[in-house]
Amino acid sequence: MDESNILVVDDEPDMLQLLARSLAPDLKCRVETAASGKEALQMVDSRHFDLAVVDIKMPEMDGLELLELIKRKWPDLTVVMMTAYGSIDTAVAAMKHGAYDFITKPFDHDALVIRLEKALERSRLISENRRLKQDDENLNLFCGMAGQSPVMQQVFETIRMVAPTEMTVLITGESGTGKDLAAKAVHELSSRSKGPFVAVNCPTVPEQILESELFGHKKGAFTHATQNKTGLFQEADGGTIFLDEIGDVSPAIQTKLLRVLQEREIRPLGDNRSVKVDVRIIASTNQDLKARIRDGMFREDLYYRLNVLPVHLSPLRERISDIPLIAENLLQKHRKRLKKPEKKMSADLMARLQSRKWEGNVRELENLVIQAILFSAQDTIGPEDLESLPRGQGASCPTEFIDVEGLPYREAKEAVLRSFNAGYIGDLLKKTGGNVTRAAKKCGLERQALQQIMRRYDISASDYRS
């Protein structure tokens, strides 16, 4: 991390010398000084500062006047005011003019350092948010999500509204619509953004293991429990846990999740004590939870606990106008990741993409773009490049092209599993002409189990039927 720059403004030379000498080592920053408001304005105008510490009582231009001028031209600069003539009225005036904090002399040095550290943290957050916003604007993105249609703009506005709260969020939408990206956006725009973001893909974890994964266990809680295990809720403490496809969890796990939402505590398997957790819960589902409630498959009280602040992602076929923007961003993202030269998509290809049904939504489009990048020989990708792809593989990505270098373990594992299932099950369905029952018998699974895997990985039997 780059060293922070602090500007101290005071008309007392001894105070300037004291703060310059003491703050630099304690805050691990560079400290520059100015003996007047006029000198401070010239310095701020010529170079970057992360924080300005300004005395209020100064001749010619006092601190409040300097603060007002700074905020008018550099609104994001964090300013902390200090004075030996502190009063409530002065503090209120400073805050109204945009000061971040107000410190009264004489001050305790350790307390001063702590408050300035918080001020610097604000500056770092503003800088990081500005960088992320600039990156997104360069690619017409919102926290990694692309979309200019009215329905997506509404989604972005909803996320902006719900993110700063501590409320539980339920994200709904078909598979492949980007529910994981929406969850990350809520986390990144929240006050928990510096904390962990732990994603749990509920359907991919066997039921008998999921409870231990979520809540942890004590040594000896069950066979093979040879040591204590910290659950994912504890790993997410201070941050966010994302329960992906929560509609697939068992009633027993639903009951335990309801307790977490009500009590903000978990109980590891085999432990007789509960553990408090400070975690925000975001859940997602591609299922109609109200229908599952009617069928007795989902707890109604859990549904209403989860559905406090809903976010719905429309399928791609309902926002066709977003496809060119999404496809272009996916092209640039994966071209760089796969270390391929500059490529572009032809107008004919864009028209073809906008006429497709996209049952697998953005994920299907993404996999098709990846394959087009890999198989196209020209600088311009055209419809002929899509026609050369193997039939029925438009929503999958060949295993040999999966690049997991640099990915976190869980993301790498998910990418490999997705590729494996698309290839393995796709081959079974091709051989059985799309007959799920026969495919299940061939691979030794129950039909229902195979269908669950197919739903999870957006594999449609109809793609393999004549």
Q: Give the residue from 144, 116, 132 showing the smallest Cα distance to 23.
A: 116
- How many other β-carbons are positioned within 10 Å of the β-carbon of residue 280? 23
- Which tokens hold the place of 377? 């020989």
Checking DSSP bridges between strand 51-55 and strand 78-83, what pairing results, if any? parallel
DSSP one-letter code for 393? -
- Distance between alpha carbon 16 and the CA centroid of its chain, in Å? 42
What is the radius of gyration, based on Cα positions, of the chain? 28
The single-letter code of the amino acid at 267 is R
pLDDT at res. 397: 41
User: 464 by DSSP, 3-state: which?
Assistant: helix
As a whole number of angstroms, the distance between CA 91 and CA 104 comes to 9
- CB burial readout 88-117, b (16+ within 10 A) else e: eebbebbeebebbbbbebeeeeeebeebbe
d(CA 27, CA 234): 31
Q: Per-residue confidence of the chain (466 residues) as pLDDT tens digits?
A: 468 899 999 999 999 999 999 998 888 899 999 999 999 999 999 999 999 999 998 988 999 999 999 998 898 899 999 887 666 677 778 888 889 888 888 888 888 999 999 899 888 877 776 666 565 555 567 888 988 899 999 999 999 999 998 899 999 999 899 999 999 999 999 989 989 999 998 888 877 788 888 998 888 877 777 888 888 999 999 999 999 999 989 998 999 999 999 999 999 888 888 899 999 999 999 999 999 999 999 999 999 999 999 999 999 999 999 999 999 989 988 888 888 888 888 888 888 888 888 888 998 899 889 888 888 888 888 888 776 655 444 444 444 445 555 566 777 777 777 777 888 888 888 888 888 888 888 888 888 788 888 888 878 887 787 6
Other CB atoms within 10 A of residue 66 CB: 26
CA–CA separation, 452 vs 443, rounded Å?
14
Give residue 399's pLDDT.
40
Which phi and psi (to 5°) does residue 171 adopt?
A: -105, 125
For residue 373, give both structure tokens.
Answer: 């990048």
Given the structure tokens 């010619």, which residue do they identify? 60
First-residue to last-residue Cα distance in the chain: 58
Task: Give Cα 240 to chain centroid, integer Å.
Answer: 10
Strand 280-285 with 169-172, pairing? parallel
Q: Are 262 and 277 in contact (CB under 8 A)?
A: no
Distance CA 438, CA 441 (A): 5
The token duo for 347 is 């107008």
Predicted confidence at residue 421, as pLDDT, reads 82
Round to whole Å and give the CA distance between 262 and 52: 44
Residues in the chain: 466
| Residues pairing with 265 in the sheet | 276
